Chains A and B, each alone.
Chain A
Amino acid sequence: MEKVNLDLKDLDLEKLAELDQYILTLDDPVERLINVLHRAQDIFGYLPPNLQLYIARKLNISAAKVNGVVSFYSYFTEEKTGKYVVSVCMGTACYVKGAEKVLKRVLKELCVEKNEVTKDGLFSVKDVRCVGACSLAPILTIGETVFGHMTEEKVPGVLNKFRGEINED
């Protein structure tokens, strides 16, 4: 098995300080574990094992509990992600309207597997459970932006919008 990195010294100190600051604002951080994890993912981009361990020790709860929560919710990711996370909804409504074809096209366009980061670090792709926008099915989200009524053909254009943004930077 691949060795899990549990070294807390590998974590970015500035980012940890930001997370600590947030935890300080909570009355009962243990009760708000999911909020803490959301914020941690916002700050770090993902939740690697050593960060989960850091949070467990900070909150004085077991790492197994933290990891149980992180691995349960598909929103959380333990793997490094691209700058833009392309989430293709695989909920029932999206699925029957062809989400699988959309997902395949996205992966083909970006030349990656699921949860893999593109060579330029720009994108990673994951499938997610219902995001609650079934009337727009099938949908995908990139970052905070939602794209409804997706088709295979629309995929390159949607991705290019984000590539373009980078080119303009």
Chain B
Amino acid sequence: MVNIKINGIRIQVPDHTTVLEAAKKVGVHIPTLCHLKLDDFGIVNKVSSCRVCVVEEIGKPSLIPSCSALVYEGMNIRTDSVKALNARRNNLELLLSNHPFDCLTCAKNLQCELQSLANELHITEIHAKGEKMFYPIDKSSNAIVKDPNKCVMCRRCETMCNEVQTVGVLSAINRGFGVVVAPAFNIDLADSSCTYCGQCVAVCPTAALIARSDIQKVWRALANERRHVVVQVAPAVRVAIGEMFGMAPGTISTGKVVTALRRLGFDAVFDTNFGADLTIIEEANELVHRIQHGGVLPMLTSCCPAWVKFFEHQFPDMLDIPSTCKSPQIMLGAIIKSYYLKNLDILPRRLKVVSIMPCVAKKAEGARPELSKDELNNVDYVLSTRELGYMIKEAGIDFANLEESEFDNLLGESTGAAAIFGTTGGVIEAATRTAYEMITGESLGNVDFKQLRGLEGIREATVKIGSLDLKIGIAHGLGNARKLLESIKAGTSHFHAIEIMACPGGCIGGGGQPYHHGNQEILKKRQDAIYAIDKSLPRRKSHENEMVLKLYDEYLGAPYGEKAHDLLHTCYTPGERI
């Protein structure tokens, strides 16, 4: 422990505490910009590049960045001296002097950390007048829009892309005023091996990296009377969207989302959780088939499109390992475009499927050519949780006070197993519940596999299923996924099945979710809510979803059978690293 003084207040703090953390303990707020710290999710950006958090150390000539400076015995800090305040204002003004002032029409208006900071420091004039950078905006991809003119060089995206996700697409290119954060050789994102995981979007303080907006396309489809527009909602959306309407993080708003979607004019409101239950039936069957017939092990989950793109580009020689199952949104899309369509008296191209996803990569997934049939995409438009929030606001719907309603049947029925797809560990827990009963033929009493839960980046567990010790691995964050894949490549892995989610925390922390602004408690509350939904449901095993069983009975035939393969399974394409 060391004794220090902050603004005259004495405090004892542990060694290795930063000045920023120590100040927080005595109720002193220091503004930050580049700083990002979600340690429980393995995310820390500590580059001290923005100099917005500088404070004065009494008796020392130069100011120090409080986010990275460590305390020591006898340290005497002033965060509110004229010298510190002026330096902070100057540094912020310099950043602002090279920033576009289109705040009113900016996608991040009122969500921008630079804007909040300008407000917090009450900047009313910018004294520095200088050159402004001018770069083209990269709109090449189906998922992410990159506007380097709004970049403040905080390097958060680089930390996510290189250290957390190990995708290695973004880097600072050139030097001095000419620096731009971009893929190598400043090529378009679409030409790079970007996975579109969207973690750069999730942490970007400004609108330098945002998700592509598809809102207008959806408004147009809804307004077109000749279109039959159905919507599906992913499991992690319902535990996060309330945050956009002032509701507490972790508020479960499933019923309100359904009502809001009906009011927006969707012809039917389905649940991606139905697709998740369907995925489990297929995936568990595939796993049991691989185990019993000497197939390739371990089997890796394939629900997460960023993860799919990651292994295609980074491990193109291992494409036989992931499950061939389509993701829940695409499975449900394929069922809507076949099974649901056949009872509608309309031309196939008039049926449009919209997905509400916590994700940026799902936008790119929807556009993948192999996920279309007869030139019709399984899913037509993908909106993020945020985009749905904006539509609800634009439509003037009082979300927080909305009555609750139920999904349409039969593609709206789901179990607790599907609910937990929204968090790390959930898919494999759901698969285990089903695989257990498939292999043993016995009913599973306690469905809570607590050993599979948590936030450790890489977790392993053994589940006894009859005479089989099912060895399970779990990784969230692509950097952790890489470690597991490398152990498989080296032959040192001993797993039967591995669940991988690209985003730290799983879909609760997806790139399309309401911005967490660096507050990891928000992510934890979303996770708690996911497990609360599971616990509240009468059925908690996917194979007990009566509507899924009905679908197999009436339409698909045997699980993992011929028709199921045609509609619910996919293939992968090797990519390159660039």
The answer on a CB contact under 8 Å between A62 and B162 is yes
The answer on a CB contact under 8 Å between B175 and A64 is no
Q: Which residues of A contact B186 (CB under 8 A)?
A: 1
- State whether the Cβ of A132 lies closer than 8 Å to any Cβ in chain B: no
The answer on a CB contact under 8 Å between B185 and A4 is yes
Q: Which residues of B contact A52 (CB under 8 A)?
A: 184-185
The answer on a CB contact under 8 Å between B174 and A72 is yes
* Chain B residue, CB-CB nearest to A6: B578
- State whether the Cβ of A49 lies closer than 8 Å to any Cβ in chain B: yes
With A67-B173, A68-B171 as known contacts, state yes or no: A62 contacts B577, CB within 8 Å: yes
- State whether the Cβ of A57 lies closer than 8 Å to any Cβ in chain B: yes
- State whether the Cβ of A71 lies closer than 8 Å to any Cβ in chain B: yes
The answer on a CB contact under 8 Å between B174 and A64 is no
Interchain CA distance A62-B185 in the complex, whole Å: 12
- State whether the Cβ of A32 lies closer than 8 Å to any Cβ in chain B: no
The answer on a CB contact under 8 Å between A67 and B168 is no
- State whether the Cβ of A146 lies closer than 8 Å to any Cβ in chain B: no
The answer on a CB contact under 8 Å between B577 and A65 is no
Contact with B along A42-73 (1 / 0, CB 8 A): 00000001001100110001111111100111
A130 to chain B, nearest CB (A): 14
The answer on a CB contact under 8 Å between B136 and A1 is yes
Q: Which residues of A contact B173 (CB under 8 A)?
A: 64, 67-68, 71
The answer on a CB contact under 8 Å between A62 and B168 is yes
| A-contacting residues, B163-210, CB 8 Å | 167-175, 182-188
A154 to chain B, nearest CB (A): 30
With A49-B184, A52-B185, A72-B175 as known contacts, state yes or no: A64 contacts B136, CB within 8 Å: no
* Chain B residue, CB-CB nearest to A62: B168
Interchain CA distance A66-B136 in the complex, whole Å: 23
* Chain A residue, CB-CB nearest to B167: A62
Interface residue from A57, A65, A73, A74 paired with B162 (Cβ < 8 Å): A65
Interchain CA distance A53-B578 in the complex, whole Å: 7
B156 to chain A, nearest CB (A): 16
Q: Which residues of B contact A56 (CB under 8 A)?
A: 184, 577
Q: Which residues of A contact B174 (CB under 8 A)?
A: 71-72
Interchain CA distance A74-B182 in the complex, whole Å: 19
B176 to chain A, nearest CB (A): 9
Interchain CA distance A6-B577 in the complex, whole Å: 11
The answer on a CB contact under 8 Å between B136 and A62 is no
| A-contacting residues, B486-543, CB 8 Å | none
The answer on a CB contact under 8 Å between A53 and B184 is yes
Interchain CA distance A59-B184 in the complex, whole Å: 15
B147 to chain A, nearest CB (A): 16
* Chain B residue, CB-CB nearest to A69: B171
The answer on a CB contact under 8 Å between B184 and A64 is yes
With A6-B578, A53-B578, A57-B577 as known contacts, state yes or no: A62 contacts B171, CB within 8 Å: yes
The answer on a CB contact under 8 Å between A64 and B168 is yes
B173 to chain A, nearest CB (A): 5
Among B171, B182, B183, B184, chain A packs the most CB atoms within 10 A around the CB of B184
The answer on a CB contact under 8 Å between B171 and A64 is yes
Among A63, A64, A73, chain B packs the most CB atoms within 10 A around the CB of A64
A57 to chain B, nearest CB (A): 7
A158 to chain B, nearest CB (A): 29
Interchain CA distance A56-B169 in the complex, whole Å: 12
A58 to chain B, nearest CB (A): 12
B29 to chain A, nearest CB (A): 34
Interface residue from B136, B172, B578 paired with A63 (Cβ < 8 Å): B578
Interchain CA distance A138-B558 in the complex, whole Å: 82
Q: Which residues of B contact A1 (CB under 8 A)?
A: 136, 186, 188
Interchain CA distance A53-B182 in the complex, whole Å: 15
The answer on a CB contact under 8 Å between B170 and A63 is no
With A1-B136, A71-B173, A71-B175 as known contacts, state yes or no: A64 contacts B183, CB within 8 Å: yes
For this complex, 22 residue pairs linking A to B, each with C-beta atoms less than 8 Å apart, are: A1-B188, A4-B185, A49-B184, A49-B185, A52-B184, A52-B185, A53-B578, A56-B577, A62-B167, A62-B169, A63-B183, A63-B184, A63-B185, A63-B578, A64-B162, A64-B169, A65-B171, A67-B173, A67-B184, A68-B184, A71-B174, A71-B175
Question: 4 tightest A-B contacts by CB?
Answer: A62-B168, A64-B171, A63-B184, A68-B171
Q: A68-B172, A71-B175 are in contact. List 12 more A-B contacts (CB 8 A).
A: A1-B136, A53-B184, A62-B162, A62-B171, A63-B183, A63-B185, A64-B168, A64-B170, A64-B184, A65-B162, A71-B174, A72-B174
